Chains A and B, each alone.
Chain A
Amino acid sequence: MLYVTRRYSFSAAHQLSAPQLSREENEKLYGKCYYTHGHEYILEVTWKGKVNPGTGRLLSSDIEDAVQEKVITFLGHSYLNKKAIFVHQPPTGENLLKEIWGLLSPVNEGVQLHRLKLSETRNNAFEYAGEKIN
């Protein structure tokens, strides 16, 4: 097995606010993150699989295109709170990462999504490898 990681970036705005809470409760819980702001997110996508002997590569251009289209184009320069996926949950790094996992894990032409790492800033990062039972 071989693991291939590609690093992407996209810029998006968000405001942390839980739909069930009042304005005061949200302000107290999320502090400055309650106010609309943005990040240059860095996303590392790791795929696991076997090299295609014909191309010498793990990833087909279809997979590379799928990440670009399903995640980077979809989320880049958007206001995350307005996306349907964040109507019922706050667009925290954790939730964003799980949503990205949901978008990419069905893509599996000969490879398997292995790990995601999402850095919100230089100082905050989230990692997820699905709910596999290890």
Chain B
Amino acid sequence: MIFITKTFEFSCAHSYDGSPQAAEEGRKFPGDILSKEVHGHNYLLEVTVKGPVDQQSGMVINLTELKRIVQERVIHVFDHRFLNWEVPPFNEKLPTSENISVEIWNLLDGYFPRGTLHRIRLYESRDFYIEYFGERD
């Protein structure tokens, strides 16, 4: 079993003060004063896929293919977006790094032609990151 990791970057704005929908319904999200203001992060995403090495190609998964899938399913959806307004389910779910990690897992799990998704690691900043290994962990 080999573990292969590719790193991506995307930038988003978010706030913990709720979505237009939540505001309409009178729901308020908790959070400190700073994070209620709209702000942004340069997220660093590490996607780790595990699997046996294919004898002919010598690869677990073709990195170009891995890149294409992650870009199509995640980066194009998240990059340069205001999560609370533009990226469901964050119109009704708090766009914390914890929730974003689980969402990215769900967007990718089962979509690789070879290998299995092993880990999502999401850096919100150099000093704070989340790791998620799926529900079975």
Q: Which residues of A approach B to under 8 Å, CB–CB?
A: 1-8, 46, 51, 54-58, 61
The reply to whether the CB of B133 lies closer than 8 angstroms to some CB of chain A is: yes
**Interfacial chain B residues near A8, Cβ < 8 Å:** 127
What are 6 A-B pairs at a CB distance below 8 A?
A: A2-B131, A7-B127, A51-B98, A51-B99, A56-B98, A57-B96
B112-137 interface with A by 8 A CB criterion: 126-133, 137
Contacts A2-B101, A2-B102; A55 near B94 (Cβ below 8 A):
yes
> Are B128 and A6 in contact (CB-based, < 8 A)?
yes
Q: Which residues of B pack against A, CB within 8 Å?
A: 16, 29-32, 93-96, 98-99, 101-102, 126-133, 137
Number of A-B pairs whose CB atoms are under 8 Å? 51
Looking at chain B's contact residues, is the secondary structure mostly helix, strand, loop, or mixed? loop
Cβ–Cβ < 8 Å partners of A57 in chain B: 94, 96, 98
Shortest Cβ distance from A114 into chain B, in angstroms? 9
- CA separation between A49 and B131, bound complex, in Å? 11
Whether the Cβ atoms of B133 and A4 lie closer than 8 Å is no
Q: Within the complex, what minimum Cβ distance (angstroms) separates B83 from chain A?
A: 12
Tell me whether A5 and B32 are in contact (CB under 8 A): no
Q: Are B94 and A5 in contact (CB under 8 A)?
A: no
A49 — nearest CB in chain B belongs to which residue?
Answer: B98
CB-CB < 8 A to B32: which residues of A? 61
Give every chain B residue within 8 A of A2 (Cβ-Cβ): 98, 101-102, 130-132
B128 near A7 with CB under 8 A, answer: yes
Given A2-B101, A2-B102, answer yes or no on A55-B128 (Cβ-Cβ < 8 Å).
no
Closest residue of chain A to B134, judged by CB?
Answer: A1
Most chain A CB neighbours (cut-off 10 Å) among B32, B93, B101, B129: B129
